Homo-oligomer: A and B are copies of this chain.
Amino acid sequence: MRAGPSQEEVRKHNLGTLLRYVHVHGATSRAELTTRLGLNRSTIGALTAELIGAGLVSEAAPRETGRAGRPSLVVRPESGRIYAYALSIEVDRIRAARVGLGGRILEQYETARPPGMSAAEAVRPLAGFVSTMRSGVPDDGRCVGSGVAVAGMVRQEDGMIRLAPTTGGVEEPVGEALHSELGEFGPLRLGNHADVCALAEHARGAAVGSDNVIYLYGDVGVGAGIVAGGRRLHGHGGYGGEVGHMVVNPYGRPCSCGSRGCWETEIGEHALLRLAGRADRSGRDAVLAVVDAAMRGDSQAQHALRQVGDWIGFGIGNLVNIFNPEVVIFGGTLRDVYLGAAAQIRSRLNAVGLPACREHVRLRTPELGADAALIGAAELVFENLLDDPLVT
């Protein structure tokens, strides 16, 4: 229990609220800020002046208003100057970007992650990308830190990867390796891939305005980023959302985690490709090929898609009963599977989900695509800045 904030804390909160508004919504007139934030004009003016002084926003007259009278100045985030490094260690690739305040990707780099490359080994090429980007940063640029999305379970306090089922890594000290390579660029924060995608889609994608969201991400593995009551679900150690290891089929196949019949074993890439008679292939293109083949009438591909769609709807039904969400988003290759099996998924969801729990749920595809991981990773460090904009 904490007592109410001091005047100084209120001012800090207001600065953060204003900066967060333009970070999420982009250029906004002072008049609109006054309305949206419920503060008077002179307060908005003073807050804006402080943020301009700190180089975080700029202000200019709008191009044209079409209305008489003095137009309200427009406040915009300094996206070119204030940036974060966003890194993403995925199952089959490694990406790095510079993301400007306001969530704009300024530049990005990508390389394949060969099978067997550990997450710790991925740190070296990432550091190379950062070094390249660094050389081109304008002189007045300011880095607020680095955010990293990792396909795996990440311990918050030190960035230890506890389990990366899809690549077999266990207890890899990735945070430590990143610190020694990138420590000079400000704070470093790591997050699970699905969690940061959920963060991005919730802030500026398919789940804007929804307080209860399940972002389901699948490729070889399956995980979820969950927003409940407007806030991300972390759990005690930050490992919440491991829905891929919800057992849905007690009589199902062994899972890499040691259990059996996990949702991941029924709806992950391997399951679809095996059912489609293509167990020798892998990756997004192979999944897309199955969906295409099903569309063209290939009966084995259709059967595979129906089967996987049925298990997807089944697990979503369980999650809907547990979370009563407004939106479920299908990311990764599950996006393509969802588009190919939407009717099947909805039908099974309706059978498993209780009417009251499912009556308002919308099934969606992501709006930010693969950018979500980078934008979300950057968001992890922008959060620090938005909590206290004038800290340096």
Binding site for B on A (CB under 8 A): 1-5, 9-11, 13-14, 17, 20-21, 36-39, 43, 153, 155, 162-163, 211-212, 226, 228-229, 231, 233-243, 245-251, 257-259, 314, 317-319, 321-326, 351-352, 354-357, 359-361
Contact = CB atoms under 8 A, between A and B. Distances in A.
A206 to B, nearest CB: 16
A3 B355 contact: no
A2 B246 CA distance: 37
Contacts of A245: 321, 352, 354, 357
B5 A10 contact: yes
Nearest to A210: B236
A142 to B, nearest CB: 24
Nearest to A358: B239
Contact of A324 (B21, B39, B240, B250): B240
B39 A235 contact: no
A247 B250 contact: no
Contacts of A212: 235-236, 240
A325 B233 CA distance: 11
A348 B249 CA distance: 15
Given A4-B10, A228-B228, A251-B251, 12 more contacts: A1-B20, A1-B21, A4-B11, A4-B14, A163-B355, A236-B324, A236-B326, A236-B360, A243-B322, A245-B321, A245-B357, A247-B248
Contacts of A250: 248-249, 314
A231 B212 CA distance: 14
Q: How many copies does the complex hold?
A: 2
Contact of A229 (B39, B233, B318, B323): B233
A361 B39 CA distance: 44
Given A236-B360, A321-B242, A17 B1 contact: yes
21 contacts: A1-B17, A3-B14, A3-B38, A153-B356, A163-B354, A212-B235, A212-B236, A228-B235, A233-B323, A235-B324, A235-B357, A236-B324, A237-B360, A239-B354, A239-B357, A246-B322, A247-B314, A247-B317, A247-B318, A259-B317, A319-B322
A356 B239 contact: yes
A46 B177 CA distance: 53
A356 B155 contact: yes
B4 A235 contact: no
A288 B387 CA distance: 53
A39 to B, nearest CB: 5
Nearest to A161: B356
Contacts of A354: 153, 163, 239, 242, 245, 257
Contacts of A233: 228-229, 323
A299 B235 CA distance: 39
Contacts of A155: 356
* 5 tightest Cβ-Cβ pairs between the two chains A and B: A235-B324, A4-B10, A4-B13, A162-B356, A242-B321
A17 B2 contact: yes
Contact of A352 (B2, B3, B247, B323): B247
A248 B212 CA distance: 23
Contacts of A153: 354, 356
A325 B235 contact: yes
A203 B39 CA distance: 35
Contacts of A1: 17, 20-21, 36-37
